[in-house]
């Protein structure tokens, strides 16, 4: 499993609209992408910073999304974000929800 973390700074008082746009526009788009598994989004209590973690079946699916539909997501959120979002990618090593764990030597 592969993960993309997108970190961003939100404009003041935009948390409610940010959450609503994710729910109504971004997540439905993600669900249509090949290999998409899950999206988890976090917002600091002050509402000035957020990050989302999307989980993918493999690196190829995450890369295909990054090359295509991700540009649409940045347009959907651009009026709510300060600066350019930062994207980091990871191999998932553990997940209790997805039952992923470190390989155990016999």
What's the CATH number where 72 sits? 3.30.70.100
Summarize the confidence of residues 2-24 as an average pLDDT: 96
Burial 43-66 (b: 16+ CB within 10 A, else e): beeebeebbbbbbbeeeebbebbb
88 neighbors 7 (Cβ within 8 angstroms):
yes
Task: Flag whether pLDDT at 22 surpasses 70.
Answer: yes
In a domain, residue 9? The reply is: yes
Tens of pLDDT, residues 44-91: 998 899 999 999 999 999 999 999 999 999 999 999 999 999 999 999
CA of 67: how far to CAs of 15, 29, 60, 70, in Å?
A: 27, 14, 11, 7
CA 73 remoteness from chain centre = 10
In a domain, residue 102? The reply is: no
Question: What is the residue range of 21's domain?
Answer: 2-91
């Amino acid at each position: 499993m592969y993960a993309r973390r997108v970190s961003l700074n939100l404009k003041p008082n935009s948390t409610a609209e940010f959450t609503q746009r994710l729910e109504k526009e971004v997540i439905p788009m993600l669900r249509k992408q090949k290999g998409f598994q899950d999206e988890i989004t976090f917002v600091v209590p002050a509402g000035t910073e957020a990050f989302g973690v999307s989980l993918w079946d493999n690196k190829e699916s995450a890369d295909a999304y990054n090359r295509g539909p991700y540009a649409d997501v940045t347009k959907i959120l651009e009026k709510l974000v300060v600066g350019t979002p930062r994207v980091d990618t990871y191999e998932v090593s553990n997940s209790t929800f997805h039952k992923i764990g470190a390989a155990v030597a016999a």
